[in-house]
Structure 1
Amino acid sequence: MEHVIAAATALTMLAGAFFALSAAIGVVRLPDLYSRMHAASKAGSVGSGLLLLAAGLYSGELAIFARAAAGVVFLLLTAPVAAHLLAKAAHETGHKLWELSVRDDMEGR
């Protein structure tokens, strides 16, 4: 059973590291604020959540795993909402979209 938990922890850590890396690359490479914020909030939340779950699995204690799971739920509930509010504030202050963006759904509001 110990090997199964170790393998699950390793896979969860690798998946979390992949999502965190893709979020970091997205923040550096994407062209505008809105795309960067999307990469940071979506992939960053999933990556951080998986790494937090890996830490909870590695501990081997139910109480610590429950705290880690609660942290993941909190992270997945708050990070996208915060990114949405930041993007809305950026749009209201006049931050422009990338010139190759197809449409602006918030235009005129």
Structure 2
Amino acid sequence: MSLFLALFSGITIAVGVVFFIAGTVALLRFPDPLSRLHALTKADSLGLGLIVLGLLPWAGGWLAALKLILVWLLVLLAGATATQMIAERIRRSGPPQ
């Protein structure tokens, strides 16, 4: 594997981990549930996407790469759906006291 590809993989994986850490910090620091959900959804989607992008050159074949992409798409869909359902529940019940 070329040095450029190894550096690209390492950097994208590291940036993805930074997004996960930022989402965790946002979960602990943001004041209300809706802003926490927003930050977590964005951080998880982008963080996992960057990690998958960094792992694709190391996948070992097109089938493994396809599986990585499918897992990422499944997480995107499930995360967005779950976040929408939780946010709707919070909106209907009113802000927490």
Q: Answer yes or no: same fold by TM over 0.5.
A: yes
User: How far does residue 6 in structure 1 lie from its aligned partner after superposition?
Assistant: 1.0
Q: How does 1:48-67 map to 2 (within 5 A)?
A: 48-67=48-67
Residue matched to 1:86:
86
Residue matched to 1:76:
76
CA distances 1:5-58 after superposition (whole Å, capped 9, x unpaired)? 211211210120121111111111100111111111111121122223323332
Count of matched residue pairs: 97
Residue matched to 2:8:
8
**Runs of 5+ unmatched residues, structure 1:** 98-109
Larger radius of gyration: 1
| Cα contact 1:15–1:47 (8 A) shared by 2 | yes
Matched residue SS, 1:54: helix
Q: Could you list the runs of 4 or more consecutive aligned residues of structure 1 that deviate by over 4 angstroms after TM superposition?
A: none
Q: Residue type matched to 1:5 in 2?
A: L
Q: TM-score, normalised by structure 2?
A: 0.83
Q: Residue type matched to 1:59 in 2?
A: A
**Runs of 5+ unmatched residues, structure 2:** none
1:37 aligns with 2:37: yes
Ranked by relative contact order (alpha carbons within 8 Å, sequence separation 6 or more), the top structure is 2
Identity across the alignment (%): 26
Alignment root-mean-square deviation, CA: 1.9
